Chains A and B, each alone.
Chain A
Amino acid sequence: MDLSLQIAQLTLANPLIAASGCFGYGVEYSDVVDLASLGGVAVKGLFLTEREGHAPPRIVETPSGMLNAIGLQGIGVHRFIAERLPELRERRATVIVNICGTTLDEYVEVARILSDAEGVAALELNISCPNIKEGGITFGCSLPGTHAVVSAVRKVTRLPVIPKLTPNVTDVASFARAAEEAGADAISLVNTFLAMAIDVDTHRPKLTNIVGGLSGPAIRPIAVRMVYECRRVVKIPIIGMGGIATSDDVLEFMIAGANAVQVGTMNFVDPFIWTKLMEGIRCYMERHGLTRLQEIVGTVDTTAGQKAWISS
């Protein structure tokens, strides 16, 4: 069975990637998961320097999901390379570094530094975090901004560049196209949905940051629809995510058009989820006589409903 896929020159052994912001720097999970067995590990978003993030409470649970407003707390790119990357290398993880910036120059600088580091497989551009005011999502919510940041990073790195798109726009497919035109090697989507929860007794927001990003199974159908919309307009690989909890969810994203997926919130619920997902995918391939998993990408049959209508 071939579960592998290609993103530019990079080969991922399988489509299961740990989602950025949900897996620390990967090393936190090295006793729980064989990091080398994952298609990739997308580490927590990194700026040029350290960031403290928002004051707690930073998460609140909602029906089949959660809101978070961590605020991109992080150790910065230099400490990551010195303190975390060696262990990730040793564990033979395929490291996808999620990079952040408050300015275009910061994205470029972080990308340049990581391109010189040994053991980085790809760069995911975080232009979609809903929880920080400056930078980031201001690029991700504007078509020229998306184009500008992707093409600027493209110029300074030979690593695959994967902008991570926000769902908080009217037409996510137009952002996918802008990213492809700017030279992205793949896109990942969706980041979290901007959302809010209020304590009715105190009239206060449940998060210190007032608003946060909704993730988990609650968002999955919307994310699947967005992956489907993007698949119709871009040729580059798509990494789909949003509430994946089972191997059927992985396959649903792939049939909608994703070449790979990321799992985030459900890794919190079950850190041993990875082997279960892998086993489920293998069972499916066996059941359907699939030898190459990539064959199912984008195979959603949207004519089925119409045909049933005509024949009845």
Chain B
Amino acid sequence: MMLVDIDAAVIANRRLSDDYNVLAFDAAAIARSARPGQFVMIKTSRGLDPLLRRPFSIFEILRNNSGAATGVSIFNKHVGAGTSLLAEAEPGARLLILGPLGRPFEPVDPPAEAWMVAGGVGLAPFVTLAEALAARGTRTTLFYGARRGEDLYCIELFESLGVGIVLATEDGTRGVHGRVTVPLESALRQRTLGEPVKLYVCGPTPMMRACAGLSLTYGRACDVSLEQVMGCGLGGCYSCVVPARSDTGGPPHHTRTCIDGPVFEAQRVAWDAMTSH
């Protein structure tokens, strides 16, 4: 692991809506070594308030014309003091960004297909995964759900990578009417087991839990990327634990999301014991 802390310049702040923005940083050292699904810890202010860094999935790896990695962006949902500061960050501002961190996704190779299932801000880790899958020539589909049609963002990033798109909204304003698990289940039902598919899931806990259940029912491999309140990102504080079994099974134990995750094999997680948020 090449962990670095960069005093990184903001290069762009793309406002998507009142609730979301994409913030891009000049951070080549992180961009070069990042693997799909890894995260960074960002200090949202220079001073002591807010004090702690916030974890963000690396949303995009930014590249120059010759294809060299030059920076990273984050997909920022405005939920509190820190994320609101990041909503307002101006190009040229400098923020500390520590990474890359965490256990990455393992992209599958053809002939297996990859189905990425995203709910809301859970879209964040999937651009980097889609790039890794595209590089392997793995056929990839994004199932992306949100409450309303206007809450679906950045679909063009996936289309440009050749990812098939299936949308779902709870109010029915775009794509399938209902939760993202509705089109996911019908797709799972149509597949025979001879056609290997791996699920990659990130979103609200109830949605990930439902997807973990579907993966079990339909006999598909499934990885989830979990989000928890994090103090340090390095395994020091034991704040971000989830109830999870070890790789070899056994009873669930409080397991650190930052260093044992954020990506977990779905059946390792004791979903009944998970605190919803």
Q: Which A positions have Cβ atoms within 8 angstroms of B?
A: 21-24, 28-29, 31-32, 44, 52-53, 55-61, 63-66, 68, 70, 73, 208, 216-217, 245, 265, 267-272
Contact = CB atoms under 8 A, between A and B. Distances in A.
For this complex, into which size category does the number of interface residues on chain B fall?
20 to 34
A32 B237 CA distance: 15
Contact of B51 (A22, A55, A61, A208): A61
Interface stretch (B70-78, B131-139, B238-246): B238-246
12 contacts: A22-B237, A23-B236, A53-B254, A56-B228, A57-B277, A58-B239, A58-B241, A59-B237, A217-B48, A217-B51, A268-B52, A268-B236
Nearest to B82: A61
A60 B229 CA distance: 8
Contacts of B231: 59, 66, 68, 268
A213 B100 CA distance: 30
Most buried by A among B48, B98, B237: B237
Contact of A61 (B5, B50, B235, B277): B50
A44 B98 CA distance: 23
Given A56-B241, A63-B49, 9 more contacts: A21-B237, A28-B234, A28-B236, A64-B48, A66-B52, A70-B237, A216-B48, A268-B231, A268-B236
B236 to A, nearest CB: 5
Given A64-B51, A271-B232, A58 B275 contact: no
Interface of B: 1, 3, 5, 43, 48-53, 96, 98, 228-229, 231-232, 234-242, 253-254, 259, 275, 277
Interface of B is mostly: loop
Contacts of B43: 269
Contacts of B52: 59, 61, 66, 268-269
The dominant DSSP class at the A interface is: loop
A65 to B, nearest CB: 6
Given A28-B235, A29-B234, A57 B51 contact: no
A217 B50 CA distance: 12
Given A56-B229, A65-B51, A271 B241 contact: no
Given A52-B253, A56-B228, A59-B231, A269 B239 contact: no
A31 B3 CA distance: 8
A289 to B, nearest CB: 31
Contacts of A267: 232, 236
A64 B52 CA distance: 9
